[in-house]
Structure 1
Amino acid sequence: MTDVYAIIPARYESSRFPGKPLALIHGKPMFWHVMHRASLCPLVGTAALATDDERILRAAHEFGMKAIMTSRDHASGTDRVLEAARMLGASPDSVVVNVQGDEPALNPEMLTELIRPFEDPAVQVTTLGHVIDAEAAQSPDRVKIVRAADGRALYFSRAPVPFGRDNPPEYLGHIGLYGLRMRILEKFSALGESPLERLEKLEQLRLLEAGIPIHVALTRHASHGVDRPEDLQTVSALMRGEEYI
């Protein structure tokens, strides 16, 4: 396995939850839980926080965690991850994992499932999917995947796809973790926003429109993100009693 970098983008400003990375869960800031869980994946060589705020940087250093100050001007977390990967010296074949900074309940097995396909040198990008029910699939906030038999993503959509004309389909929900070869991460940034990406507000469509395949690994684990302050109580209860806190 090539070098693997798990990079957690953590910006301070958020319209729904300012200062979210510093929110305390079981006595430790949210970023600590994400970083700690990422470091528990045996395939991760380097885990680093990529932030734009001195308060987050200082707190990370107080916990002895690797943290990098990045620009405040990035349009997306992916651009922040790219800057951090460059600063860490990632080679073109290195695998860079974009770990969402608001996933304090992340199961380290999910990162193993995401990274393992890179044992095949032909794999360039990976992400995760898991089966969801028909009711959940109706929500535009739950992104759905149409996946080929060999694991390649055919499409991502906010619409409930595929459409079952005669029989109800099995819906595959997307989990927003990504692994990319460094050279593809560079290309992603250089490509700029694509038409379908602009339409669906899904940046992974940029890769598909450019002809870059995305391998979708299946997982039994679910995503439990923190979008608003009221989500803290739910996630805290989920984590209570776990060995990872």
Structure 2
Amino acid sequence: MRRVIVVPARIGSTRLKEKPLRRILGKPLIRWVIQNLKKTGERVILATDSERVKEAVEDLCEVVLTPSDLPSGSDRVLHVVRDYEAELVINYQGDEPFAYREDIQRIFNSLEKGEEVVTLAVRDKEAYTRPEDVKVVLDKRGYALYFSRSPIPYFRKEDSFYPLKHVGIYGFRRETLLRFGSMERGRLEEIEGLEQLRLLEEGVRIKVLITDNYYHGVDTEEDIKIVEEKLKGYVGKER
């Protein structure tokens, strides 16, 4: 099956100005993302509305310029996928500098086995009270019941499995991604500001794979400091 990783990167971030171009250990954030994804051996395409972001990585991967008025990263991915013959697509967030070959393979393998949507989660107690980090709870078969920035589940007693921090990386079968693009925004999505809730409200199952690898997206100045420290130990490792 033909497959591709599409990285949406919008220059007009509201929380962190010009986020894709913020310097981390001397390089733009988006360059870290693309460089580490290229190590997975998969085809990578950047979808951006900015010539400056394009210039930061055009020596590394294909770049598609997208309209500035697209409302979300998923819409940028859709803009690319409609013109490419890819059956399996990973939407890899442009603010997630860590990438691991084994996790990418697990996502694609799950899609090949018939899952419609696949994402990742990590066990992370520190994320529990951080509204910047999305939490997820699962059913017994590993499918998402709900995602929230609020602390879920509520702990009447301690548990060794939860809390789970959602990692905003999504694998889609092509037909599901196109269907997602035609769905109206749901009530819960409007309330929480989380696109994946649109799928749950429409009855689409999201398979959640637990990983032990380290992930940390960049949304704040503090995140930049955290990521810089982690990347110092990440550089040079084979993935």
Give the deviation of 1:51 after TM superposition.
0.6
Indicate whether 1:136 and 2:130 are aligned. Answer: no
Counterpart in the other structure of 2:50:
53
Closer, same or farther: CA 237–173 of 1 in aligned 2, 3 Å: closer
Counterpart pick for 1:117 among 100, 110, 113: 110
Structure 2 distance, partners of 1:209, 1:114, is 22
Secondary structure of 1:161's counterpart equals coil
Structure 1 distance, partners of 2:85, 2:191, is 34
Counterpart in the other structure of 1:155:
146
TM-score by length of 2: 0.88
Runs of 4+, deviation exceeding 4 Å:
none
Give the deviation of 1:216 after TM superposition.
0.3
AA aligned opposite 2:74: T
| Long gaps (5+) in structure 2 | none
Give the deviation of 1:47 after TM superposition.
0.4
Structure 2 distance, partners of 1:20, 1:186, is 27
| Alpha carbons 1:105, 1:235 under 8 Å: kept | no
| Alpha carbons 1:144, 1:156 under 8 Å: kept | yes
Counterpart in the other structure of 1:6:
5
Give the deviation of 1:157 after TM superposition.
2.2
AA aligned opposite 2:138: R
| Alpha carbons 2:98, 2:214 under 8 Å: kept | no
Counterpart in the other structure of 2:88:
95
Counterpart in the other structure of 1:223:
215
Counterpart in the other structure of 1:17:
16
Give the deviation of 1:37 after TM superposition.
1.4
Give the deviation of 1:180 after TM superposition.
0.8
Structure 1 distance, partners of 2:40, 2:31, is 15
AA aligned opposite 2:50: D
Between the aligned residues of both structures, percent identity stands at: 38
Counterpart in the other structure of 2:73:
77
Closer, same or farther: CA 28–88 of 1 in aligned 2, 3 Å: farther
Structure 1 distance, partners of 2:90, 2:154, is 31
Structure 1 distance, partners of 2:28, 2:131, is 30
Secondary structure of 1:185's counterpart equals helix
Taking only aligned residues, the RMSD between alpha carbons, in angstroms, comes to 2.1
Give the deviation of 1:64 after TM superposition.
4.1
Structure 2 distance, partners of 1:227, 1:244, is 25
Secondary structure of 1:243's counterpart equals coil
| Alpha carbons 2:44, 2:62 under 8 Å: kept | yes
Structure 1 distance, partners of 2:176, 2:202, is 11
Secondary structure of 2:83's counterpart equals helix
| Alpha carbons 1:105, 1:238 under 8 Å: kept | no
AA aligned opposite 1:143: V
Give the deviation of 1:39 after TM superposition.
2.0
| Alpha carbons 1:9, 1:77 under 8 Å: kept | yes
Deviations 1:204-245 (A, max 9, x none): 111111111000000012322222345334322211242159
| Alpha carbons 2:31, 2:56 under 8 Å: kept | no
Secondary structure of 2:142's counterpart equals coil
Give the deviation of 1:189 after TM superposition.
1.4
Counterpart in the other structure of 1:104:
97
Give the deviation of 1:29 after TM superposition.
2.4
AA aligned opposite 1:106: A
| Alpha carbons 2:35, 2:60 under 8 Å: kept | no
| Alpha carbons 2:34, 2:60 under 8 Å: kept | no
Give the deviation of 1:147 after TM superposition.
0.9
Instruction: Give the count of matched residue pairs.
Output: 235
Structure 2 distance, partners of 1:51, 1:99, is 13
AA aligned opposite 2:7: I
